[in-house]
Amino acid sequence: MWNPFEILFYAQLLSSLSYSIGTLLYALPIPVYGIKKWGPILIKDSIYVAVWTLIDTVVLSFARHILHMLGVHWGSYFNWLFQVENYNINAFLILKTILTVASFVSINYAPLTLFSFLLSISVSYFEFLDMISLMIYQYVGIFVAIGILLMSLPFRIGRSIGASFIATSLVFYVGLPYLPTFLTELDLNILNLHIPANPDIQFILQVAIPEIFLANLFMPTAYIAILSGLSIGLGNAIGGYGSRVPFMVEMP
């Protein structure tokens, strides 16, 4: 498997290449602004990437410190995902059994069919979320290193996508474990919902289906959208106008 320090090593090599190309272009005796302007740009970019390679472990440690400050950790988050998946699967199987029985008698089971459909979508949704979360948890260091490597490509070829890699990895690494707490504060944690063992049709229509939809699909999706928005903002700060070295670089 890839080692993040090996990736950072190659990023540093590309950063040195950018610096060399920048100094060469800056020193060329060609009075063409479109070419010579890349000299100081490449030099500054190479220093900026060099700074990122140095603070990579510091940034990851800071992300873990934020998790500690929020009072959440990945172990509890994965346990919550496992419980939610089991809850949805068990509820789905129970409803499928009820629907199978109801199909043999004259019962209006359309609300139960809708309920079952929502639960089936929820099962798939949380399985996908579990897969994405596992990737972020296991490979956040590699993703950040790949982002730095992409940013180190000369002439800013991979600057935007590299910054997006870094920002998305860090934001989701910190934000995903907070999802259960976020839902609990809104009183929409699926594990805390109280649904009777034998709910009637009215309860299913007016209470169960709206709460299951909000707790299982709408609010988790809204939370992921919030994290995505934060990732875009942080990515712009890293790779866009906010990407500045923390000291002045004087060009003669």
**Residue 227 domain flag:** yes
Residue entry with tokens 């034998």: 198
The per-residue pLDDT for range 35-90, each reduced to its tens digit, is 778 888 999 999 999 999 999 999 999 999 999 999 999 999 999 999 999 988 88
**Residue 37 domain flag:** no
Query: Are 170 and 144 spatial neighbours (Cβ–Cβ below 8 Å)?
Result: yes
| C-alpha span between 91 and 70 (Å, rounded) | 32
> What is the residue range of 219's domain?
49-239
Closest CA to 150 of 132, 168, 136: 168
Name the average pLDDT for the chain.
85
The per-residue pLDDT for range 101-144, each reduced to its tens digit, is 666 665 556 666 777 788 888 889 999 999 999 999 999 999 99
**Residue 250 domain flag:** no
**Residue 150 domain flag:** yes
Q: What's the total number of domains in the chain?
A: 1
Prediction pTM value: 0.86
**Residue 74 domain flag:** yes
**Residue 139 domain flag:** yes
Q: How many residues does the chain have?
A: 252
**Residue 10 domain flag:** no
Give the contacts of 146 (CB within 8 A, at least 6 positions apart).
7, 162, 165
**Residue 7 domain flag:** no
- CA distance to 46, 55, 211, 244, 248, per residue, from 20 (Å): 9, 22, 60, 19, 19
